[in-house]
Amino acid sequence: MKNSAANRVSDLRDLAPAYIRSIAPYQPGKPIAELARELGIHPDKIIKLASNENPLGVSPLAMRAIEAAIADLARYPDGNGFELKQALCKRYGVDMAQIVLGNGSNDVLNSAARAFLAPSLEAVYSQHAFAIYALEIQYTGATGVEAPAREYAHDLKAMLAAITPRTRMVFLANPNNPTGTLITAADLHAFLRQVPSNVIVVLDEAYNEYIPEALRSDSLAWLAEFPNLIVTRTFSKAYGLAGLRVGYAFAHPDVADLMNRVRQPFNVNSISLAAAAAGLEDHEFVRRSFELNQAGMRQMTAGLTKLGVDYIPSAGNFVSIKVTDAAGVFQRLLQRGVIVRPIAAYQMPDFLRVSIGLEAENARFLDALKQSLAA
């Protein structure tokens, strides 16, 4: 059947709702292969400190599980992720019904947003917060409400003040990316007590394993006290599995049930499920990742201080630095084969975010930075 002239569209984009048309695409870190092509040099000559990836690579236990899982690729994965969920239950003392698995924790954030948000509702997040929150809210047609930050950190008072009768969800990152700022357990607990019980609080703990134990929040213990709390974590950072995409959420069973209804049935593939379950048991790898990051952070911040470069103290595996002409410094670092992350899109045009790498990578970054700083 032919379209009549009357219903022919002049611009296909007009078929999408306005809230979809206004989405700005997420800007990922520049891939190594892309810069290698641009500079005409071998990828081995390039260091990437742009996406907070684990410089130690993949956990060896996860790697063995990956190799074993390849044999079964003709089969669909376990849509309920039984083995990984069991491993998470054993490790964290939660029930199976409290877990939602995702294709990265971004996917879990997506399930949370789609389960609870709709065009007439609002969701609150902080200025300088992880960019994915605003996107996930926008996909649903809900209205994102940005609360002003304070010294680059989440201002919990301002976030509470931004909650209205239309607010259905609040996103918090602890520590936040790209600022690295950490909310204390006491402040976070006080915040949760003040948030209305009909507002879902998503607490994103992607960098939890990098926080020294004494500074961590006992967020899983809070799940019983706050049924409106969702805690999200990931295998992308300390477990070194960013490329496989596995994340998870812990929540009240009723909340988890809704999130599980809106996620895609086979959202985590079989290799990822096997790698994550094995990686979870690799305490040695996570300990090494933590210690390397601690030492690397000391090396990085000492080097920055020596160069007279300001930075925001960070609880993550990255640090955001303040430089004159950040866009120019970024380009000059690229010319020296060093990829970092410009964060102008986070309302931080004078900053670059640098992931903590291996000792030699940090040293090379500091050297390249010295030569790239604007006069």
Q: Which residue is nearest to ligand PLP (CB)?
A: 104
Give the binding range for ligand PLP (CB under 6 A) out of 40-48, 76-84, 233-241, 337-345: 233-241
Give the binding range for ligand PLP (CB under 6 A) out of 3-11, 113-121, 231-239, 291-299: 231-239
Contacts with ligand PLP, 10-39, as mask; x by CB under 6 A: ------------------------------
Nearer to ligand PLP, 182 or 206 (CB): 206
Give the binding range for ligand PLP (CB under 6 A) out of 15-23, 161-169, 229-237, 337-345: 229-237
Taking CB under 6 A as the criterion, which residues in 136-195 touch ligand PLP? 173, 177
Task: Please tell me whether residue 247 binds ligand PLP under the rule CB under 6 A.
Answer: yes
Nearer to ligand PLP, 105 or 320 (CB): 105
Task: Please tell me whether residue 110 binds ligand PLP under the rule CB under 6 A.
Answer: no
Contacts with ligand PLP, 52-71, as mask; x by CB under 6 A: x-------------------
Nearer to ligand PLP, 149 or 368 (CB): 149
Tell me how long the chain is: 375
User: Exactly one of 122, 136, 204, 209 binds ligand PLP (CB under 6 A); which one?
Assistant: 204
- As measured in angstroms, the least distance from the Cβ of 308 to ligand PLP is 28
- As measured in angstroms, the least distance from the Cβ of 178 to ligand PLP is 8
354 contacts 340 by C-beta, under 8 angstroms: yes
Paired tokens of 288: 């090494």
Task: Write phi, then psi, for 373 (nearest 5 degrees).
Answer: -65, 145
350 contacts 320 by C-beta, under 8 angstroms: no
Task: Please tell me whether residue 236 binds ligand PLP under the rule CB under 6 A.
Answer: yes
Task: Please tell me whether residue 130 binds ligand PLP under the rule CB under 6 A.
Answer: yes
Nearer to ligand PLP, 105 or 270 (CB): 105
Task: Write phi, then psi, for 239 (nearest 5 degrees).
Answer: -90, -5
Write the Ramachandran bin of 250: left for phi over 0, alpha for psi from -120 to 50, otherwise beta: beta
Paired tokens of 313: 């103290």
Task: Please tell me whether residue 239 binds ligand PLP under the rule CB under 6 A.
Answer: no
Sheet order of strands, 122-126 included? 99-102, 247-250, 229-234, 200-204, 167-173, 122-126, 143-147
**DSSP structure string for 273-341:** HHHHHHHHT-HHHHHHHHHHHHHHHHHHHHHHHHHT-EEE--SSSEEEEE-TTHHHHHHHHHHTTEE-E
Report the distance separating Cα 187 and Cα 183, nearest Å: 7
Nearer to ligand PLP, 28 or 40 (CB): 28
User: Exactly one of 55, 77, 81, 104 binds ligand PLP (CB under 6 A); which one?
Assistant: 104
Residue type at position 103: N
Contacts with ligand PLP, 314-353, as mask; x by CB under 6 A: ----------------------------------------
Task: Please tell me whether residue 105 binds ligand PLP under the rule CB under 6 A.
Answer: yes
**CA neighbours within 13 Å on the CB side: how many for 112?**
37
- As measured in angstroms, the least distance from the Cβ of 52 to ligand PLP is 5
Sequence-distant (6+) residues with CB within 8 A of 52 are: 177, 207, 237, 316, 317, 318, 355
Question: Per the omega criterion (within 30 degrees of 0), is the bond before 31 cis?
Answer: no
Nearer to ligand PLP, 171 or 365 (CB): 171
Nearer to ligand PLP, 219 or 234 (CB): 234
State which H helix or E strand residue 29 sits in: none
Task: Please tell me whether residue 206 binds ligand PLP under the rule CB under 6 A.
Answer: yes
Beta bridge partners of 341: 353
CA torsion 235-24-155-192 (nearest 10°) is: -50
List residues near ligand PLP by CB under 6 A. 52, 104-106, 130, 173, 177, 204, 206, 234, 236-237, 242, 247
